[in-house]
Amino acid sequence: MLRAAEVKISMDGKGRWMDNVFIERLWRSVKYECVYLHAFETGSELRAGLSRWFAYYNHHRPHSRLAGKTPAEAYGQIDASDHGGHAPHDLITRMAA
C-alpha cells in the first residue's frame, strides 16, 4: 500500500536507528521513572500518573541535552524556574501517592 502511494519508508535502510532513538529514550524514562515505580491498578490511575509524570518531565525535570533546562524553559514556554533542577516537593508528594 505504501509503495503504491510512493511513500518512502524511513527505517528501511542501513543506519536508520537514529530515526527511533529519541522516542526509545523517552519510553525508557517513562518506564523506569514512572510505570515501574508505581503500582497502578486501573487504566484511570495509569493515565493520571502518566499525566503527572509528563508534566514533571516537561516543566520540572532538567535535561542534560538542553544544558540543564527543562523542555518548557528551552523552548520558551516558561521563564527559567527557581526549582534548582529538582522537582518541587509538592510534585514529588503527588507522584508518590
> What is the predicted pLDDT for the residue at 16?
64
Residue of higher predicted confidence among 63 and 90: 63
Residues 6+ apart with CB under 8 A from 20: 11
pLDDT exceeds 60 at position 76: yes
Residue of higher predicted confidence among 63 and 22: 63
No. of helices (H) and no. of strands (E), the chain? 4, 0
Q: Cα–Cα distance between 21 and 16 in angstroms, integer?
A: 9
Q: For residue range 26-55, what is the model confidence (pLDDT) as tens digits?
A: 999 999 999 999 999 999 999 999 999 999
Tell me the whole-structure pTM to 2 decimals: 0.60
- Using CB atoms within 10 A of its CB, is residue 57 exposed (0-12), middle (13-18) or buried (19+)? buried
The angle at the Cα of 46, spanning 22 to 52, to the nearest 5 degrees, equals: 65
